[in-house]
Structure 1
C-alpha cells in the first residue's frame, strides 16, 4: 500500500480496495497523525482510546511517530476492546490494523 499525498498533511490510499485517509497536522512541538477508514482509526499518542471505546469505534494508538509512514510501520501500544475483538493486538503494526479495518 502506498499513500498518495494530494497536499501537505493529507494523503489517501486503498487497502483491500477500501479508501483510507491520512492526516499529519502540525501542533506546537509535534505532529498529530492519524489514519481513518470506514472500519477504524489508527492514531498517534495524542489520542485517548477511552473516547473511542465509549463510542464503540475500532481504534489503535501508536506512540513515538512523527509521519504517516512511521504510523503505518509503528507498533500498536494501545487498542480498544472492539478492535481487539476483531483480532488486533498490541505489538502489531499500524498497517496490520488497517488490513483488519479494511477487509
Structure 2
C-alpha cells in the first residue's frame, strides 16, 4: 500500500509518503526543496557520484524509524553535502531540518 498525505509541521505543509514493502516501510517527508527519509534509501550516492552530486540534492536519512512521526523526531544520521548549505547537520531532528527548508 502507498499512502500520500499532507503533513503540517509548525503550520507549514509538507508531503508525507509511506510505501509498505515486504518486511519494511519506506518513509519520506518532502517539499519542493528537499526531503528526509528512512534508512531504506541511501543518501551517500548523492555525495559520491559526480553526476549526482551536481544535482545538489537536499536530503537526510534517519535510522530505526517505522512511522512518519518517528521520522520527524529522529536525529538525522546522514545528510547530503548540499543540505549543509541550508543549515542541516547530522544529529538534528527531521523536523528541525524540514523547517530550515520551509
Class of the TM-score when normalised by the shorter of the 2 chains: 0.7 to 0.9
In the aligned structure 1, how far is the partner of 2:31 from the partner of 2:9? 9
TM-score of the superposed pair, with normalisation by structure 2 = 0.82
Aligned to 1:28: 22
| Residue 50 (structure 1) aligned with residue 69 (structure 2) | no
Structure 1, 13-22 or 39-48: larger mean CA deviation: 13-22
Q: 1:52·1:58 contact (CA, 8 Å) conserved in 2? A: no
Structure 2: which 5+ runs fail to align? none
Q: Deviations over 1:7-42 (max 9, x none)?
A: x72221344665310011100111000011111110
Aligned residue pairs total 95
SS state of the match for residue 48, structure 1? coil
Structure 1: which 5+ runs fail to align? 1-7
